[in-house]
Amino acid sequence: MHVTPIEAPCGARVTGLDLRHELAAERISDIRQAWLQYHVLVFPDQDLDIDDLARFTLYLGNFGEDPFFNPIKEHNNIAAIRRNADEKTSLFAENWHTDWSFQPKPPIGTCLYGIKIPPKGGDTLFANQHKAYDELPAGLKHRIENLTAIHSAASGYSSTGLYSERKKQNVGRSMDIVTSDEARRTHNHPLIRPHTETGRAAIYSTAGYIEGFEELKKQESKKLLRELYSYQGSPQFIYRHVWKPNMLVVWDNRSVLHKATGGYEGYDRLLYRTTISEFD
């Protein structure tokens, strides 16, 4: 197994493994170490079926719970991130986020496997939130250090949210998103969180899933969230991942934010996704 760091604030390529076959415990431990160190691992040229993707996911934890997608029919824990060539709906996941941060125990990681990849566009961006924390200007750091963030999925997945079928821009969406007023449920997490395995501090999640802060008034929260959102996605924290078919990417939701990008009108794009929850 070879781990080659990518010239970016996070990310490494992993080669020399065939993920169609079960890995030895020692290799799995090497993968975990690399994942904790680089936060985003890219495995190119892996011709995986759904059982291989599921097995890989379970090397790093249990399956996470994906509340607002229907899974693919062949596997309960795999969702399709899909956009058809002629689709006119708003782009999915175009804002910075970390997966399902409104859950009491959010997924520690996410796997995304490229199946149909357009010849241009559709890159995924990652922003290293340990680096963002380490480089916080002193004034901003002082303002946010002890805040408790209120998370919910309402702005995306409630009946009036971004992906609501009631909105014209969502009619004809090929992705199987299920909006529900369950999305209005809130859960709090500290804004600055130590990583559960490495202990490194990170800014955890961002506007979109964070709707405010316990300690601040609504308007103050909104202003701070806007300021933070722009800081968290600054160019010096970003790795731009360019996809190829048969590429598997696994990222650490405790360490990075991610977002989708467009620019592939006229081409299909299809990736399979699993989330990883902490081992019991």
CB 81 to ligand SIN: min, Å:
5
The answer to whether residue 79 forms part of the interface with ligand SIN (CB under 6 A) is no
Q: Which residues partner with 269 through β-bridges? A: 83
The answer to whether residue 8 forms part of the interface with ligand SIN (CB under 6 A) is no
Nearer to ligand SIN, 81 or 224 (CB): 81
Q: Which residues contact 81 (CB under 8 A, 6 or more apart)?
A: 92, 93, 112, 175, 260, 269, 270, 271, 272, 273
CB 139 to ligand SIN: min, Å:
31
Nearer to ligand SIN, 83 or 147 (CB): 83
CB 260 to ligand SIN: min, Å:
3
Site for ligand SIN in 130-169 (CB under 6 A): none
Site string for ligand SIN, 36-75 (x = CB under 6 A): ----------------------------------------
CB 93 to ligand SIN: min, Å:
3
Nearer to ligand SIN, 97 or 130 (CB): 97
CB atoms within 10 A of CB 16: 8
What is d(CA 24, CA 28) in angstroms, rounded to the nearest whole number? 6
Nearer to ligand SIN, 53 or 81 (CB): 81
Paired tokens of 194: 């130590």
CA atoms within 13 A on the CB side of 251: 24
Alpha-carbon dihedral angle through residues 209, 211, 215, 221, given to the nearest 10 degrees: 120
CB 247 to ligand SIN: min, Å:
12
Query: Which residue from 273, 274, 276, 277 is in contact with ligand SIN, where contact means CB under 6 A?
Result: 273
Helix or strand (DSSP H, E) at 54: helix 50-60
Query: Which residue from 126, 156, 258, 276 is in contact with ligand SIN, where contact means CB under 6 A?
Result: 258
CB 83 to ligand SIN: min, Å:
8
The answer to whether residue 93 forms part of the interface with ligand SIN (CB under 6 A) is yes
Nearer to ligand SIN, 107 or 212 (CB): 107
CA–CA distances in Å: residue 239 to residues 5, 6, 153, 190, 265: 12, 9, 25, 25, 23
Query: Which residue from 81, 111, 127, 132 is in contact with ligand SIN, where contact means CB under 6 A?
Result: 81
Q: Which residues in the chain belong to E strands, given as ranges? A: 2-5, 12-15, 40-43, 62-63, 79-83, 109-116, 124-128, 148-151, 187-190, 192-194, 201-203, 210-213, 238-241, 248-252, 256-260, 269-277
The answer to whether residue 189 forms part of the interface with ligand SIN (CB under 6 A) is no
The answer to whether residue 124 forms part of the interface with ligand SIN (CB under 6 A) is yes
* Sign of torsion over alpha carbons 217, 222, 225, 226: negative
Q: Which residues bind ligand SIN (CB under 6 A)?
A: 81, 93, 124, 258, 260, 273
